[in-house]
Structure 1
Amino acid sequence: MKISEKLKQAHAGPNPPPATFSFEFFVPKTSQGVQNLYDRMDRMYDLNPIFIDITWNAGGRSSSLTNEMVYTAQSTLGLETCMHLTCTNMPVSYLEEALDKAYKAGCQNILALRGDPPLDGSESTGDFRYAKDLIAYIRKNYGDHFNIGIAAYPEGHPEEEDDEKLLQYLKEKTDAGADFIITQMFYDVDNFIAWCRRIRDYGINIPIIPGIMPISTYSAFIRRAKWSEVAVPQHFLDALDPIKEDDYAVREIGSQLVAELCQKLIDSGFVNHLHFYTMNLERSTIMLLERLNLIECVKDNEAVGEDLPWRKSLHPNRSKEQIRPIFWQNRKYSYISRTSGWDEFPNGRWGDSRSPAFGDIDLSASQLLRQSPKRALELWGCPQELKDLANIVISYLKNEVKALPWSDGPIGTDTDVLKDSLIKLNENGFITLNSQPALSAVRSNDQVYGWGPKNGFVYQKQYLEFLVHKNVAPQLLKAVESHNNADPTGLITFYLVDKEGNLTTNSKDDDINAVTWGVFPGEEILQPTIVEKVSFLAWKDEVFSLIDEWVTIFHSKAISELVEQSKIETLSRFLTDFGNDYVLCNLVNNDFTSDNNVMFQLLNSLSGPSN
């Protein structure tokens, strides 16, 4: 969706927030840095930004990684994304390739920039010299598909001292087809407001989005102000200079000063949206949003909300997608990748338009396991036996470990009601992978479980997924059968499969079990999360491949320099045996009104060599 349309929508309701906001991120230099940034972007999604933008490489150098990050932000993270694009030293073929990739990713927003001049002071060798030329090119070739943003400099530009000429250049870019303005950072709010008056008087009427730079440390604050050649008001220096050696105090006082700046902007009437230069960090930006009370204001805005219980992709091919298997609930990057080749996506019933197969896992270790070897070691150590692995999962359940091989990010609050029971399962030899509690007629606006349109009700069947020793499996099947015979109204269905694909289940071959659904006024019942055989078998391949990859990364040079060889060999034997001796199982309690303890009691009653 276009930024200008999103802004209009967000501020058109009866109780619009005083301001909406967005975040800028730059492309990291390392692959692990990229994965870490995706995790940060994922967390900051929950703040409900109107959009994010991703920078192009300085000096106009081609950057395929920018396009890759735009694709991931749109397709996997569901974040409306604006791509920076510079024309300095860029041949038209590079620009066209970048625009085509953005177009195919569903990106509808471009920040068109001239870019930094060549470092040696020579003339640009690109096909375009100015941002207005790039804007005209985009409009000629893509019509109205892209919303185009432009940069502006409220305190002047180092290459042009004449303020009148800067206004003229801004007007030329607007007339060429620009839709909104994002400004350079600044700290002199009075000057900024006066500048807003000047550009309005000049006949420039597109939205003005101020670029806000949070203050994290004193040295960074001074360095960025000097680099950008912006004025620092004396009261900023008076407040920060005495505490410049105390980073915590600088962040606290700095957030107060910048929050006051933002409030003046909002009160001026020229601004209803703030764009934060995050520098790929989150704490300083969040402190500002909290001081301005914008997080809650935006959250309460009806224009912002989740249509489904999982993160909806913004890729154009997935626009009608309404159903996903629960198995990839914590592995969305993998799910998007494995289904990217589908021609159509389920939008009513899972079987209606499903493509015939999930993509094969042909990813390298670094792609399948999202952590680098060193990061994996930091997170999970070097487990030597089942108890070590169970303790890693227990630490994850306690939110002490932020990811697992089969979970991309921290555990959510929706499993809090199951936490103690899940911990006990792991202590008893079950390695839990995924779960959800039973829900019956929970309001769709519930802060933890709610999703979908207002005035609706959402439901869930309890779901448990775990790895269990194959010698315990017969007891498990017998216990499920006994439960179902004793209480057929609370039927428990299961799928159990080993690494080789030998499957046991009490479901029919073509059963599709909706484990999440919602009832909303004037709409058909939505069933966005399901359990079924074909996708479970595809997920099985991924789970056991993840275990194999875990073994593989411990034989990398990066790990061998940090861990004793004997420990690496023990880990290798343990995880290899674990993958061979354990089976993957999921249970669904189809009585969504029953107590969440039923399946836990059933599992904890089992005994065996590993339980």
Structure 2
Amino acid sequence: MKVSDKLRQAADSKRPYFSMEYFPPKTEQGLANLYDRIERMSRLGPMFVAVTWGAGGATAQRTLELCGACQGVFGIETVMHLTCTNMDRKKVDEALEGAKEAGIQNILALRGDPPRGSEYWTACEGGFEHAVDLVRHIRDKYGDYFSIGVAGYPEGHIESSDKEQDFEYFVEKVEAGADFVVSQLVYDAEAFLGWERKCRARGIKVPIVAGVLPIQSYQSFRRLAFLTKVHVPEDLRQKLEAAKTNDQAVKDLGVEHAVATVRRLQEAGVMGVHLTTLNLEHSVQRVLAALGMAESPAAAGALSGPSAALPGPSVALSGTSAVQGVERQLWDDFPNGRWGDARSPAFGSADAYGAMLKFDAQGASRVWGQPRALEDISQLFVRFVRGEIPSLPWSDEPLMGETERIRDELVRLNELGYWTLASQPALDGVASTDATHGWGPRGGYVYQKAFVECFVPSRLFPAFLSRLQSASGRITYYAANRQGDFMTNAQQSDGTALTWGVFPGRAVVQPTLIDKMSFLAWRAEAFQTWRDWAAMFPQASDESRFLLGTANDCWLVNVIDNDYKMSDAIWQVFH
């Protein structure tokens, strides 16, 4: 049954309904575990599920595989996202034929994010320029076989400077043959309702489903809000700011706000919500249980109460890194690092909804300058560590509070040419209530090993590696370059713990660790960011050539000092 038919039936009955969105995991373990998760969540009774599509077809095969499983194995009506970024007509038609073969009759037609390494989006030869072109192509070639959905932007598309013109583009997209609309994420219910009324007044009659994402962590919320530029109510922002060091409190706020948002939408007659899960289940289940919308109350209630996991620490990142924030048996409850646990379906969720760099060329030059020499890079990182600029290409936000403890050393490292992306100081039994370093229940103590992750130019790398190897046993390191060379002295395949806590009546908790799989996944992202930055400059410019050459020249290295009682010893291997 087509999603559009289901939506019409729901509208006639005026009953609340929901759908869920997943993305293809980065690892085989994550995909296998996502299948188990989808099977559990299907018992909640979603009207349909949607699966994202990577820009340029980057996840094409895995998206089709996941869609086929949802439709054919789990029996859930499935919507396949399809973007036209860097996709010629042949690729688009191959994707649509693959969807037909898998029994998929529902497509969410999107333009998508710019391909990585491109300053601005441009259509490839023989491709499509806008989502409306994709809608028309599907209708012209496949008639009514597919139910076509499109995206709606209640607050305007991020790239549009004229909201009224943006709205007219949206109307054109619907009139081209769309059967339903899924909106951008909604944090302000009133903003959505005003836009929805405007749509109806303009004559748009197709169903409009509101996009809702229960906030999972402070960092992911800040990142998505930054990338989408949606309005966040000030009271929610203040509450999140006050709770940002307590992961469980942030999750609770996320559930509370999502429930309140959906209730307000329902009061106004908007019965449908599209829940962006980020491949996580606990918060979504709690939201549905609180709203009484799950078909299986037992399934929703099983995880609807506060999580048994402890709120985790926030590693002091000066860039997003391979640092993982998870409890080993509860993959999803410590989402402090970029990637999370490689076994989790949510592994890499921060990367699933768009590229990192959202500056235009002028903005990048204004904040990060026009680098043409290694010293320019060193000074850029020094300025960031000192708080003189708000971001780096690898970091959307300023340094965290605990970095103050090691700021002087980080400045020295960057002046020497070690460009630091992530760091944390050693801690030996700090109270869990400590305002800067504490986490977890009251009455406990937290510990952490000193850690530094950095880019190291090849001129420094041989001597640096020799010092790391001579300190083997005390120092654990991971190192890789863009060409794929990798080395480590880690002995344990399941990773190296960086942070742990001891609390009354509980086992020791290890919420932060590093392992090979997550480090290598971050390596690919970190080196791609050099290329993204280079693309901000003309192709033949000195800046572009220098940044691409630097990406090929340097190593990504992270260093863990296993002796957490020697708080200053890690710096010796850099000097």
> What is the CA-CA distance between 1:69 and the residue it aligns to?
1.2
93-102 or 218-227: bigger deviation: 218-227
Q: After the TM superposition, which residues 25-40 of structure 1 pair with which residues of structure 2 at under 5 Å, given as runs?
A: 25-40=22-37
Paired residues of 1:56 and 1:63 also in contact (CA < 8 A): yes
- In structure 2, what is the equivalent of residue 71 of structure 1? 68
**1:312-391 correspondence to structure 2 within 5 Å:** none
* Alpha-carbon separation, structure 2, partners of 1:298 and 1:284: 15
* Correspondences of 1:58-457 after superposition (within 5 Å): 58-61=55-58, 63-118=60-115, 119-122=117-120, 123-126=122-125, 127-269=127-269, 271-296=270-295
Matched, 1:51 2:55: no
2:214–2:257 contact (8 Å) kept in structure 1 = no
- 1:586 corresponds to which residue? none
1:416-439 Cα deviation digits (max 9, x unpaired) = xxxxxxxxxxxxxxxxxxxxxxxx
Distance 1:112 1:140 in 2: 14
Distance 1:51 1:298 in 2: 18
Q: Write the deviation string for residues 314-334 of structure 1: whole angstroms up to 9, x where unpaired.
A: xxxxxxxxxxxxxxxxxxxxx
TM-aligned CA deviation for residue 272 of structure 1: 1.3
Say whether the 8 Å CA contact 1:59–1:116 is kept in structure 2: no
The letter for the 1-side match of 2:34 is: L
Aligned-pair CA distance for 1:50: 0.4
Using the TM superposition, give the Cα deviation of residue 245 of structure 1 relative to its aligned residue in structure 2, in angstroms: 1.3
Q: Aligned residues: percent identity? A: 43
Cα deviation, residue 212, structure 1 = 0.4
Matched residue SS, 1:132: helix
Larger radius of gyration: 1
The amino acid across from 1:261 in the alignment is T
Counterpart code for 1:228: T
What is the CA-CA distance between 1:240 and the residue it aligns to? 2.4
SS of the aligned residue for 1:144 comes to coil
- Rounded Cα–Cα distance in structure 1 between residues aligned with 2:95 and 2:254: 37
In the TM superposition, residue 209 of structure 1 has moved relative to its aligned partner by 0.6
Q: Distance in 2 between matches of 1:10 and 1:154?
A: 22
How many equivalent residue pairs? 302
Residue in 2 aligned with 1:22?
19
Q: Is 2:4–2:147's contact at 8 Å kept on the other side of the alignment?
A: yes
Q: What SS does the corresponding residue of 1:295 show, helix, strand or coil?
A: coil
- Alpha-carbon deviation of 1:11? 4.9
Amino acid at match of 1:151: A
Aligned residue runs from structure 1 range 562-573, under 5 A: none
Q: CA deviation at 1:264?
A: 0.7
**Could you tell me how far 1:297 is from its partner in structure 2?**
8.7
| Aligned AA (1:200) | R
Aligned to 2:395: none
Contact map agreement 1:112 1:135 (CA 8 A) in 2: yes
Provide, for residues 14-72 of structure 1, a one-character-per-residue CA deviation record: whole Å limited to 9, x for no partner: xx63x100100001111111111111111101001000000001355461111111111
> Is the 1:117–1:124 contact (alpha carbons within 8 Å) kept by the matching residues of 2?
no
In the alignment, residue 107 of structure 1 is paired with which amino acid?
I
Aligned counterparts of 1:11 and 1:150: Cα–Cα separation in 2: 18
CA distance in 1, matches of 2:153, 2:275: 16
**Cα pair distance change 1:222/1:3, threshold 3 Å:** same
Structure 1 unaligned residues grouped into runs of 5+: 300-377, 380-559, 564-611
Q: How many angstroms does 1:206 deviate by?
A: 0.9
> How far is 1:295 from its partner?
1.1
Whichever residue aligns with residue 120 of structure 1, its letter is S
Q: Structure 1 pair 186/11, CA: closer, same or farther in 2 (3 Å)?
A: closer
SS of 2:63's equivalent in the other structure is helix
Deviation string, structure 1 residues 225-274 (Cα, Å, up to 9, x no partner): 112111111110232222221111221122112211111111112x2111
Three-state SS of the structure 2 residue aligned to 1:198 is helix
CA shift, 1:281, in A, is: 0.3
* Contact 1:24/1:275 (8 A) holds in 2: yes
The 1:11/1:177 distance shift into structure 2, 3 A limit, reads closer
Secondary structure of the structure 2 residue equivalent to 1:232: coil
Structure 1 residue 562, shift from structure 2 partner: 6.6
1:232 counterpart letter in structure 2: V
AA at the equivalent of 1:86: T
In structure 2, what is the Cα distance between the partners aligned to 1:298 and 1:160? 42
Q: Is the 8 A contact 2:45 2:296 kept in 1?
A: no
1:20 partner amino acid: Y
Q: Secondary structure at the match of 2:79?
A: strand
2:171–2:204 Cα contact (<8 Å) kept: yes
CA separation of 1:256 and 1:247: change in aligned 2, threshold 3 A: same
Tell me if the contact between 1:167 and 1:202 (Cα under 8 Å) persists in the aligned partners.
no
Partners of 1:240 and 1:71 lie apart in 2 by: 38
Q: Does the CA-based 8 Å contact 1:62-1:90 persist in structure 2?
A: no
Amino acid at match of 2:64: N
**Contact 2:47/2:77 (CA < 8 Å) preserved in 1?**
yes
Would the alpha carbon gap of residues 128 and 186 (structure 1) be closer, same or farther in structure 2, given more than 3 Å must change? same
What one-letter code is carried by the residue in structure 1 that aligns with 2:148?
I
Per the alignment, residue 387 of structure 1 pairs with: none
Q: Deviations over 1:100-139 (max 9, x none)?
A: 1111211110000011123322522151111111111111
Contact 1:48–1:298, Cα closer than 8 Å, also in 2: no
- For residue 294 of structure 2, give the secondary structure of its aligned residue in structure 1: helix
- Tell me if the contact between 2:213 and 2:275 (Cα under 8 Å) persists in the aligned partners: yes
Contact 2:55-2:86 at 8 Å conserved across structures = no
Instruction: Report the Cα distance in structure 1 between the residues aligned to 2:60 and 2:99, rounded to whole angstroms.
Output: 12
Deviations 1:262-314 (A, max 9, x none): 11111112x21110010000011111111111115999xxxxxxxxxxxxxxx
**C-alpha separation between the residues in 1 aligned to 2:199 and 2:168?**
10
Q: Matched residues in 1 for 2:92 and 2:55: separation?
A: 15
- Mapped partners of 1:228, 1:59: distance in 2: 20
Residue 210 of structure 1 aligns to a residue in which SS? strand
- Asked if the contact 1:61/1:89 (under 8 Å) is kept, the reply is no
**TM-score, structure 2 normalization:** 0.50
- Alpha-carbon separation, structure 2, partners of 1:112 and 1:188: 25
- How has the CA–CA distance of structure 1 residues 11 and 195 changed in structure 2, closer, same or farther, with 3 Å as cutoff? closer
Which AA in structure 2 matches 1:276? L
Report the Cα offset of residue 561 of structure 1: 7.6
* 1:192-244: CA deviation from partner (whole Å, max 9, x where unpaired): 11111111112212111111011122222222111211111111023222222
Query: What residue ranges of structure 2 are gaps of 5+ in the alignment?
Result: 299-327, 330-490, 495-575
